[in-house]
């Protein structure tokens, strides 16, 4: 009966199924040659010679030598030549690696029946302690090659100190040359090692029974090294011994199969991960024993090792063999890329065992710079998601809710991606991921941490692989979430990358979005530069709008002269173009700025003009803003009844243009000025309850700063202090300083209430500095007033006179109602404000 030829299906490493002998190997290789042309043996030799010359690794083989690999009667194969032949025929490096591994397996399988079992007697203890007590269990230790599985298994087994010592059984599940050990041969070898009395016939059942009996009589620890599969492992496990199993695979299903076979002892798992950079550097430093080793060199060596202990041992051994090399020299030797890296040979063995689909999935994942969630990955690349379970089992993908690779694996697989995948294929994956990330953002109300991670990973990948159109679309989708709290760094990152590749007609829009992002991050100069760039590049549908935005940025930063100029320019451009919407907004912004600067009469005049233009434009949102800001003006002018009525109307109506939570701020301001702080606290608490998280990031800090004032006024000092500090923390690093002077002034008054004069003076002095920098005349007057009260408490009436006079002068100049009240309050106690 003729032997069957190899099947046409492709196996785990891109080689045909059914290749189990030299004869079927020759038939499969011949079929590969036919599919490639077929080229002559001489032509194959020439191709190999060119490839070897380019790689700097030798010359062309003879055509007869090439032909020998196709002969079915061969008894041994030149595995490197097989690799080169397949590469010459297909141009596929991954496939060539698979054929090399197949040739290795065939060479080794002929001598692979013997199973090696090494026995180590229990170590003698100098203190004469008795042997340990048997504790039957199965410990599965899994992880990447070289990560320290065998070392740990030996340490645990030796620590058990059992009378029979430690037996180490080589299963060869992932051996590069030898075939995996047959379960029956494993049982025979283990039975001999433990001195079992074997019944005849020597069936698997009889062998297991004999091994169990021997280990029961003389307990020993058994290490099963390099298990390749659960199906080959479980039939050889003793029931009742201390067993340790090492494997590159997680060996899923081992517990269920062991239970089905009747094994009653517990199964536990230990998954070993590579060391992080810090731990690897510390391990290398300890082993080198060079106290003067520079931290930078140790860091480079740690990264080169990938945190894999075998690679660390290789580096340390090299250092000991070359004592004249400096740590920097050693780092230069090992801090290299691709095949010269000490970790790449270790990972090669794992990679060759992957199917073509699994290897392709690993290469795609290696292109990602940061973790992503499995849901987005599934939408972008279902074939990658399908391989995740297998890749996790081999510890190539780290465990957890997100999908990420260890740095060592990423470095290796990324190099393979650039070797094996054309740019068009990598770009296709990048485009699909960018589209999936964009759709996810479009479907979400707010951006959370998972969104931000996907955004960053997809943006970097799209930029690196040239998926420009998808990158721009992703950036625009991300910008819709600029008003969400946080994640501005990720948004600006993708905007910057998109701006570098966007078509000319989108760059003005992107520049404005970048400006908004920079403002959120407190990058003031970058924000202003981007706004001016947007103004130059953009084709504004509302002329003057960008000048108004520039004015808002200057105002928030305390550059109030520049803000006033920008508002006036915005109003002029808008008025010339007949753009009532922007003119009304620019006038309203200038009116509010005049109020903050203390020009209350000018503010009232500008508010009137702004309301007239806004009503003509029908701009309901701006009308709400104008009404709200005018409440602050009326309160400053002492028109408390009018101001309160309008504030309560706004709160009841909740018109468009201002978040509902913010309407409590003008009302609380009026109530505080009118001497009703308890009602102000209630109003601000109501505002906090109205917050739905949709307001801009500056709203809650303003509420907190004002609430701190109100709480202090009603005597709730501890809560007031916490609230003021929260307000400061919320704006720290954002560039938004409007609430800072208010919160610092409140902290100064609280310290004064507690008799901590020095602390009070420090806080009030800082408040004055911020108020002067902002140009906020009202807060300047408040800071001088607080410093005057502190001086009186410290027994320094002369300083108090200067401070209080300045506070009253500023308030009177503004036309602020508090000026006369303050003068009256101190007139009887001192002539300082006369």
Check if the beta carbon of residue 121 is closer than 8 Å to that of residue 172: no
Closest C-alpha to 440, from 489, 417, 473:
473
| Residue 201 domain-assigned (yes or no) | yes
Q: What is the mean pLDDT of residues 279-303?
A: 88
Q: Say whether both 180 and 323 belong to one domain.
A: no
**How much of the chain, in percent, has pLDDT values that exceed 90?**
34
Q: What is the mean pLDDT of residues 149-165?
A: 89
Closest C-alpha to 570, from 587, 557, 553, 593:
587
Q: Say whether both 304 and 389 belong to one domain.
A: no
Q: How many domains does one find in the chain? A: 6
Residue 667: which pLDDT band, with cuts at 50, 70 and 90?
A: very high
- φ, ψ dihedrals at 165, nearest 5°: 75, -145
**Residue 633 corresponds to which tokens in the numbers above?**
């003006």
Rounded distance between C-alpha atoms, residue 739 and residue 718, angstroms? 19
| Weakest-pLDDT range from 104-108, 216-220, 271-275, 402-406 | 104-108
Q: Say whether both 138 and 251 belong to one domain.
A: yes
Which of 72-81, 174-183, 607-616 reaches the highest mean pLDDT?
Answer: 607-616
Q: What is the mean pLDDT of residues 563-585?
A: 91
pLDDT in tens, 565-574: 989 998 998 8
Residue 112: which pLDDT band, with cuts at 50, 70 and 90?
A: very low
Q: Say whether both 734 and 812 belong to one domain.
A: yes
Q: What is the mean pLDDT of residues 701-716?
A: 93
| Residue 817 domain-assigned (yes or no) | yes
Q: What is the mean pLDDT of residues 109-134?
A: 66
Mean pLDDT of the chain: 84
Q: What pLDDT is stored for residue 746 in this prediction?
A: 94
What angle in degrees, to the nearest 10, is found between the helix axes of 545-556 and 524-537? 170
Q: What pLDDT is stored for residue 733 in this prediction?
A: 66
User: DSSP alpha helices (H): ranges in 373-444?
Assistant: 374-380, 382-386, 388-393, 407-420, 423-442
Q: Pick the more confident residue, 332 or 335.
A: 332
Q: Pick the more confident residue, 732 or 771.
A: 771
Q: What pLDDT is stored for residue 8 in this prediction?
A: 39
| Residue 477 domain-assigned (yes or no) | yes
| Residue 518 domain-assigned (yes or no) | no
Rounded distance between C-alpha atoms, residue 416 and residue 70, angstroms? 29
Rounded distance between C-alpha atoms, residue 630 and residue 650, angstroms? 12
Q: To which residue do tokens 């300890």 refer? A: 286
| Residue 214 domain-assigned (yes or no) | yes
Q: What pLDDT is stored for residue 833 in this prediction?
A: 46
Q: To which residue do tokens 């920008």 refer? A: 566
Is pLDDT above 50 for 726? yes
Q: What pLDDT is stored for residue 6 in this prediction?
A: 38
Q: What pLDDT is stored for residue 386 in this prediction?
A: 93
Q: Say whether both 146 and 37 belong to one domain.
A: no
Q: What pLDDT is stored for residue 791 in this prediction?
A: 94
Q: What is the mean pLDDT of residues 490-500?
A: 84
Q: What is the mean pLDDT of residues 637-666?
A: 88
Residue 176: which pLDDT band, with cuts at 50, 70 and 90?
A: low
Calculate the dihedral angle through the C-alpha atoms of 108, 110, 113, 116, rounding to the nearest 10 degrees.
Answer: -40
CA distances from 82 to 42, 70, 102, 396 (A): 15, 9, 9, 28
Q: Say whether both 747 and 783 belong to one domain.
A: yes
CATH label of the domain that carries residue 232? 3.40.50.300
Is pLDDT above 70 for 10? no
pTM for this structure? 0.55
Domain closes at, from 511, 539, 564: 511
User: DSSP alpha helices (H): ranges in 754-817?
Assistant: 757-774, 777-793, 797-814
CA distances from 272 to 145, 222, 313, 349, 461 (A): 10, 20, 17, 18, 29
Residue 340: which pLDDT band, with cuts at 50, 70 and 90?
A: low
Rounded distance between C-alpha atoms, residue 407 and residue 279, angstroms? 14
**How much of the chain, in percent, has pLDDT values that exceed 70?**
88
Q: What is the CA radius of gyration of the chain?
A: 38
Is pLDDT above 70 for 688? yes
Domain closes at, from 228, 256, 272: 272
Is pLDDT above 70 for 524? no
Closest C-alpha to 114, from 172, 181, 169:
181
Q: What pLDDT is stored for residue 111 in this prediction?
A: 44
Is pLDDT above 70 for 781? yes
Residue 778, Cβ density class (10 Å: 0-12 exposed, 13-18 middle, ≥19 buried): buried
Its domain, for residue 54, covers: 22-109
Domain closes at, from 87, 109, 131: 109
Ramachandran area for residue 172 (φ above 0: left; ψ -120 to 50: alpha; else beta): left
Q: Say whether both 819 and 742 belong to one domain.
A: yes
């Amino acid at each position: 009966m003729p032997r069957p030829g190899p099947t046409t299906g492709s196996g785990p490493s891109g080689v045909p199924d059914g290749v189990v002998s030299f004869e079927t190997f020759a038939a499969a290789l011949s079929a590969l040659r036919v599919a490639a042309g077929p080229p002559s043996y001489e032509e194959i030799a020439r191709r190999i010679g060119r490839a070897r010359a380019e790689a700097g690794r030798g010359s062309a083989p003879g055509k007869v030598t090439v032909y020998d690999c196709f002969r079915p009667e061969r008894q041994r194969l030149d595995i490197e030549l097989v690799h080169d032949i397949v590469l010459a025929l297909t141009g596929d490096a991954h496939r060539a690696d698979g054929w090399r591994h197949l040739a290795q397996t065939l060479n080794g399988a002929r001598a692979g029946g013997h199973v090696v079992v090494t026995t180590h007697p229990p170590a003698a203890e100098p203190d004469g302690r008795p042997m340990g007590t048997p504790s039957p269990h199965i410990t599965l230790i899994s992880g990447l090659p070289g990560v320290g599985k065998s070392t740990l298994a030996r340490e645990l087994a030796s620590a058990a100190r059992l009378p029979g010592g430690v037996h180490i059984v080589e299963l060869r599940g992932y051996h590069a040359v030898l075939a995996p050990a047959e379960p029956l041969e494993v049982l025979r070898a283990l039975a001999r090692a433990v001195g079992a009395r074997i019944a005849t016939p020597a069936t698997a059942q009889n062998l297991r029974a004999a091994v169990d009996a021997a280990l029961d009589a003389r307990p020993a620890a058994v290490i099963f090294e390099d298990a390749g599969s659960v199906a080959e492992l479980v039939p050889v496990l003793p029931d009742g011994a201390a067993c340790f199993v090492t494997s590159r695979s997680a060996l899923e299903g081992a517990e269920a199969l062991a239970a089905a076979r009747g094994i009653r002892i517990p199964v536990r798992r230990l998954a070993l991960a590579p060391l992080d950079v810090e731990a690897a550097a510390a391990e290398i430093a300890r082993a080198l024993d060079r106290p003067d080793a520079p931290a930078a060199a140790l860091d480079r060596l740690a990264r080169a090792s990938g945190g894999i202990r075998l690679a660390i041992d290789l580096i340390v051994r090299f250092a000991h063999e070359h004592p004249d090399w400096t740590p920097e020299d050693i780092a230069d030797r090992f801090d290299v890329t691709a095949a010269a890296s000490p970790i790449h040979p270790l990972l090669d063995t794992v990679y060759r065992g992957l199917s073509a689909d699994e290897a392709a999935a690993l290469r795609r994942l290696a292109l990602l710079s940061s973790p992503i969630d499995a849901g987005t990955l599934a939408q972008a690349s279902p074939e990658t998601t399908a391989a995740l379970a297998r890749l996790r089992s081999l510890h190539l993908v780290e465990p957890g809710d997100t999908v990420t690779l260890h740095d060592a694996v990423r470095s290796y697989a990324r190099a393979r991606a650039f070797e094996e995948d054309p740019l068009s294929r990598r770009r296709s994956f990048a485009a699909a991921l960018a589209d999936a990330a964009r759709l996810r953002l479009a479907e979400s109300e707010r951006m959370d941490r998972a969104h931000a991670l996907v955004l960053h990973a997809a943006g970097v990948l799209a930029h690196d692989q040239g998926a420009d159109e998808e990158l721009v679309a992703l950036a625009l989708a991300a910008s819709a979430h600029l008003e969400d709290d946080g994640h501005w760094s990720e948004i600006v990152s993708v905007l910057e990358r998109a701006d570098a590749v966007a078509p000319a007609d989108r760059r003005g829009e992107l520049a404005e979005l970048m400006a908004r992002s920079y403002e959120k991050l407190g990058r003031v100069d970058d924000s202003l530069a981007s706004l001016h760039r947007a103004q130059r590049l953009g084709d504004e549908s509302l002329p003057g709008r960008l000048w108004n935005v520039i004015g808002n940025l200057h105002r928030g930063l305390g550059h109030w002269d520049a803000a006033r100029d920008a508002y006036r320019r915005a109003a002029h451009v808008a008025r010339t173009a007949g753009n009532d919407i922007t003119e009304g907004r620019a006038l309203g912004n200038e009116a509010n700025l005049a109020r903050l600067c203390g020009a209350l009469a000018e503010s009232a005049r500008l508010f009137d003009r702004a309301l007239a233009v806004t009503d003509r434009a029908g701009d309901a949102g701006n009308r709400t803003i104008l009404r709200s800001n005018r409440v602050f003006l009326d309160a400053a002018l002492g028109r408390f009844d009018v101001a309160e009525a309008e504030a309560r109307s706004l709160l009841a109506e909740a018109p468009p243009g201002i978040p509902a939570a913010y309407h409590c701020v003008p009302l609380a301001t009026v109530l505080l000025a009118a001497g009703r702080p308890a009602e102000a606290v209630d109003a601000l608490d109501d505002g906090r309850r109205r917050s739905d998280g949709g307001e801009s990031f500056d709203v809650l800090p303003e509420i907190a700063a004002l609430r701190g004032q109100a709480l202090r006024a009603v005597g709730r000092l501890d809560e007031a202090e916490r609230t003021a500090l929260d307000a400061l923390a919320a704006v720290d690093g954002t560039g938004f300083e409007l609430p800072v002077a208010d919160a610092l002034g409140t902290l100064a008054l609280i310290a004064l209430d507690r008799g901590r004069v020095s602390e009070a003076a420090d806080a009030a002095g800082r408040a004055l500095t911020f108020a002067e920098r902002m140009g906020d005349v009202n807060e300047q007057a408040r800071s001088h007033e607080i410093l005057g009260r502190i001086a009186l408490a410290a027994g320094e009436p002369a300083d108090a006179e200067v401070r209080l006079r300045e506070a009253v002068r500023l308030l009177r100049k503004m036309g602020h109602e508090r000026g006369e009240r303050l003068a009256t309050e101190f007139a009887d106690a001192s002539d300082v404000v006369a």
